[in-house]
Amino acid sequence: SQWGEENLQALSIQEGEDVTMNCSYKTYTTVVQWYRQKSGKGPALIILIRSNEREKRSGRLRATLDTSSQSSSLSITGTLATDTAVYFCATEDNYAQGLTFGLGTRVSVFP
């Protein structure tokens, strides 16, 4: 099966800073989804980018997708303490079962 991988495991930043995390995946996917998981909660979808899109924005979130290098990034601008969470990328392909999740990037935003 395919496994996504984040290149950074944990990030600590101050409120107001921008942060970018990366995800590389091993096999073809038609879509990359980014989920945010806050402590004690289940993951929640925050942005989805399809293979025919290079960039997608949603509020302070920006996702990019480079299908040639099989990588995606998630950026958060002007971080808030409430952005503290683990962020997962998830990919899907036609041969696997549902989504394949990366290991996650823990982002801690300090006031």
Neighbouring C-alpha atoms within 13 Å toward the C-beta of 8: 17
Neighbouring C-alpha atoms within 13 Å toward the C-beta of 2: 22
Q: With binding defined as CB under 8 A, does residue 43 bind other proteins?
A: yes
Query: For other proteins, which stretch binds (CB under 8 A), given 27-35, 51-59, 67-75, 77-85?
Result: 27-35
Q: Please, which residues have CB within 8 angstroms of residue 81's CB and are 6 or more apart in sequence?
A: 15, 109, 110, 111
- Residue 111 Cβ vs other proteins, minimum distance, rounded to whole Å: 26
- Radius of gyration over every alpha carbon of the chain, rounded to an integer in angstroms: 13
Scanning residues 84 to 103, which ones bind other proteins (CB under 8 A)?
Answer: 88, 90, 92, 97-99, 101-103
- Residue 80 Cβ vs other proteins, minimum distance, rounded to whole Å: 22
- Residue 93 Cβ vs other proteins, minimum distance, rounded to whole Å: 10
